[in-house]
Structure 1
Amino acid sequence: MKVLKHVFNFYINSSVHVALSVYALSWITLIELDIMYDENVLYFIFYATITGYNFVKYFGLAKFHHRSLADWLKVIQIFSLLCFVMLCYYAIKLETNTLLTIVLFGVITFLYAIPFLPKRIFLDSQQNLRSISGLKIYVIGLVWSGVTVCLPLLNNDYIFDVDVVITALQRFLFVIVLMFPFEIRDLKYDSLKLSTIPQSIGVKRTKTIGVLLLAIFLFLEFLKDDIDSKRVIIHFIITLITLMLLLLARKNQGQYYSSFWVESIPIIWLVLILIM
């Protein structure tokens, strides 16, 4: 049992679970727009998510404690390096337009973790995009929607029409709501200077905004030119699941409530689509 717990913790802490969620959302984009499974872009997104998230999460630890890294962090570093190699392998198979867009998202990820501007611009000593007041959740929403919608379509030379714009907006709103349980959880850890949404308006109002965003997310499905009844049903189910986990989120939540259950929603979404 102890071994299984270590394996599960590695699965969460090494960002494999979040990478599966991003992979799932990317595949959903291809399915909804009737595009064939694109192994190259989907696998690239999977390995890039692991590499990017681990870089953001552990850069500071590796920078300041590289001589005395805990064993678990060393393993994650090696694992991340292997994922980076796989990332490069699939990157060379992608279209030029896709690679140019990847560079843009890569720069955003880099600036999200690395100090790069004068301290006077920031509200704490981190000096990166992550530390700018109130910006964190929108950066994540933008990157997730861009990666899971734009990259798969660019790599397949798909024309960006109104349905694509609506899908990207839906994805942005969906990811923002997914972030709310994390921000509620982190109330006891985050500096007040970050001005996260729960810090600014409180948990109850944050959940109210989440409900409104989910309503918009579902409503937008009816504005598409191609409306599919099965897809609408699946969107409704996913909206209900997300709503339930949002409303049950609290400051003192379980260890895996957000990091596993909330981040499992995109995977559940993909499974429903594949079943139906």
Structure 2
Amino acid sequence: MIVLRKVFDFYIQSSLHVGIAVFCLVKITDCDLVPKNIDNYSILVFFGTVLGYNFLKYYDVFRKGNFLSNKHYGILFVSLLSSTGFLLFFSGLKNGIQIKILISGIFVILYPFLRKYGWLKLFFVSFVVTYITVYIPVVLNKPVILECYISLLQRFFILSSLLIPFEIMDTKTDPKSLNTLPQLFGIRKAKQLGYGFIVVFLFLEFINFRIHNFIIDAVIAIVTIIFIRFISLENDEYYTSFWVESVPIFWLVLLILFQ
């Protein structure tokens, strides 16, 4: 049991889980909007997400060589493998797409500098993930039409709502001067803001008038509402780092099973 717990913790801490979640967001776009399979791009996004998140989380550890446990060596190994996989798939893409991916890399590098604007970081992360998981794969395959813009907004709002539990959990460690949304408005109002994002998400799906997708989106909305409703400072780290981050995986499973 202890070994399994350590393996699970490593899976979370090495960003493999969030990599799979963002991979699933690309595949959801594949199911909804893209006329042909984009497996190569979605695999690239998986490797890039693992690499990007580990860069942000462990940059000081890697830079200073402060490897406090075997876990850090393992995470370094996973990061190096991810960088290799990323470069291999990146080299096979068209120049225009490569440029857009490099732009997303610049966004990742900018994040630590923008994080001090606490109220902004939630929207910045939602924007970057939307750019990577909707805008680039759509541009990769077809002209951007009104439906695509609506889907861009949808993804932005559902991601913003899913990030609310993370913002609330982070209030335990964030300095008060950061002025995140829960710090500015309180946990209760931050939750209400998350519910508002979900309403906009569903309204945009209604505009698209895709009844079948609306039902699946409604299920995802309900799941997200539940996670926002029951987030508290007493929850353990797995509540957000595993369960909330599993929502895109559940979403993709629903699309595969019922579309």
1:185-200 residue pairs with structure 2 within 5 A?
A: 185-200=169-184
Unaligned runs of 5+ in 1: 114-127
Q: Contact 1:41/1:155 (CA < 8 Å) preserved in 2?
A: no
SS in 1 for 2:119: coil
Q: Percent identity?
A: 34
Specify the alignment match of 1:77 in structure 2.
Answer: 76
Distance between the aligned counterparts of 1:47 and 1:155, measured in 2? Answer: 18
Q: Deviations over 1:30-65 (max 9, x none)?
A: 11115222121010001000000000111123234x
Tell me the CA shift for residue 3 of structure 1.
1.2
Which residue, 167, 178, 184 being the options, matches 1:183? Answer: 167
Is the counterpart of residue 171 in structure 1 residue 149 in structure 2?
no
**Which of 30-39 and 260-269 deviates more?**
30-39
Which residue, 201, 212, 227 being the options, matches 1:217? Answer: 201
Unaligned runs of 5+ in 2: none
Q: Contact 1:48/1:87 (CA < 8 Å) preserved in 2?
A: yes
Deviation >6 Å, runs of 4+: none
Cα 1:133–1:257, aligned 2, differ >3 Å: closer, same or farther? Answer: closer
Which residue, 135, 138, 146 being the options, matches 1:153? Answer: 138
Specify the alignment match of 1:119 in structure 2.
Answer: none
Question: What residue identity is the alignment partner of 2:203?
Answer: F
- TM normalised by structure 1 equals 0.90
Cα 1:101–1:252, aligned 2, differ >3 Å: closer, same or farther? Answer: same
Q: Deviations over 1:212-255 (max 9, x none)?
A: 1101100100212xx33221100000000000111000112122
Is the counterpart of residue 93 in structure 1 residue 78 in structure 2?
no
**Which of 66-75 and 39-48 deviates more?**
66-75
Q: Deviations over 1:2-46 (max 9, x none)?
A: 111111111100111111111111111111115222121010001
Question: What residue identity is the alignment partner of 1:84?
Answer: S
Q: Contact 1:62/1:69 (CA < 8 Å) preserved in 2?
A: no
Distance between the aligned counterparts of 1:13 and 1:2, measured in 2? Answer: 16
Question: What residue identity is the alignment partner of 1:149?
Answer: V
Aligned length: 258
Which residue, 246, 255, 258 being the options, matches 1:273? Answer: 255
1:1-276 residue pairs with structure 2 within 5 A?
A: 1-64=1-64, 66-113=65-112, 128-156=113-141, 158-224=142-208, 227-276=209-258
Distance between the aligned counterparts of 1:14 and 1:172, measured in 2? Answer: 25
Distance between the aligned counterparts of 2:97 and 2:117, measured in 1? Answer: 28
Specify the alignment match of 1:124 in structure 2.
Answer: none
- TM normalised by structure 2 equals 0.96
Cα 1:265–1:67, aligned 2, differ >3 Å: closer, same or farther? Answer: closer
Q: Contact 2:118/2:181 (CA < 8 Å) preserved in 1?
A: no
Specify the alignment match of 1:117 in structure 2.
Answer: none
Distance between the aligned counterparts of 1:43 and 1:229, measured in 2? Answer: 30
Tell me the CA shift for residue 98 of structure 1.
1.2
SS in 1 for 2:115: helix
Distance between the aligned counterparts of 1:175 and 1:49, measured in 2? Answer: 15
Q: Contact 1:97/1:154 (CA < 8 Å) preserved in 2?
A: no
Tell me the CA shift for residue 68 of structure 1.
4.2
Q: Deviations over 1:69-127 (max 9, x none)?
A: 421111101110111000000001112221111111101111224xxxxxxxxxxxxxx
Distance between the aligned counterparts of 2:57 and 2:117, measured in 1? Answer: 17
Question: What residue identity is the alignment partner of 1:105?
Answer: S
Distance between the aligned counterparts of 1:89 and 1:43, measured in 2? Answer: 10
Q: Contact 2:162/2:244 (CA < 8 Å) preserved in 1?
A: yes
